[in-house]
Amino acid sequence: MRILQHDIQNYPDSLLEQESIVADILAKRAQDTMILTEHPPTYTLGSSGKMQDILSRTIEGESIAVHSTGRGGEVTYHGPGQLICYVLKNIEHEKDLHQHVHHLEELIIRTLADFHIHGERNERGIGVWVDGLKISAVGVRCRKWVTFHGVALNIHPNLQHFKGIVPCGMRDAPVTSMYQEGVDVPRHIVEQRIIHHTQTLFINGI
C-alpha cells in the first residue's frame, strides 16, 4: 500500500486528492493508498448529518469551517492535533464494507495499545472508545468497491471544538484524546505505528 503524508491540508483540497486517487485506482493507474494528514479546524457533515447538529461555528473566538462530504455518518470535527488516516482501497474481491470498517477500528485499537491505551469498540456507534469516551471517529464511502475517507485519531486536539457540534449524533459529546488519557506523543511517532499496523491489517490481513 502506498503511503502519502501531508503536514496539513484544507478539507476541500483533501477531497479533491481522494477523488483523483479513487479514479486512478478504478482505472488501474494507482495502487491502494493511505493518506496521513491533518486539517485546519473543520466541521464535516456526513450523509446522515444535519445542519442543526452544528451548534456554533465559532469556539473560543476561533472560526471553524463547515463542509459537506459524501462519507457515511453524521457531524464530525477535524482539526490540528488530530491524525487523519484516509484509506483508499479496492475491496472488489472481498465486497465487505463492514469488514473494512472493522479493520479501520482495529488499526486504531492496535496503535493505541502501543502507547498503553486500551481502545475498544462500543455499542453506541462505530469508532474507537476509551472508557466510554470516543477517541477515534470512522466514516467511509465506497465507489464501485473502492473505499475512501477513513478514520480520525485524537492525539492532542482542542477538545473544546467538539462542543460546537453534536458529534456523531451524541448530545453528551463524550470525546477524549491520547493526551487526555495521559500520553503526550508527537504525531510522527503515532504515524510510525499506524504505518506498521497498516502493513499487517490491509496487506497481510493479520
- Catalytic positions are 168
C-alpha span between 194 and 86 (Å, rounded)? 12
Q: Which residues contact 192 (CB under 8 A, 6 or more apart)?
A: none
Helical axes 187-198 vs 97-114, angle rounded to 10°:
130
C-alpha span between 187 and 163 (Å, rounded)? 23
Task: Give me the amino acid identity at 124.
Answer: R
Q: Which residues contact 154 (CB under 8 A, 6 or more apart)?
A: 81, 82, 135, 136, 175, 176, 177, 178, 180
**Extended beta strands in 23-163, E state:** 33-37, 42-45, 58-59, 62-63, 65-68, 75-78, 82-90, 120-122, 125-130, 133-143, 146-154
Length of the chain (residues)? 206
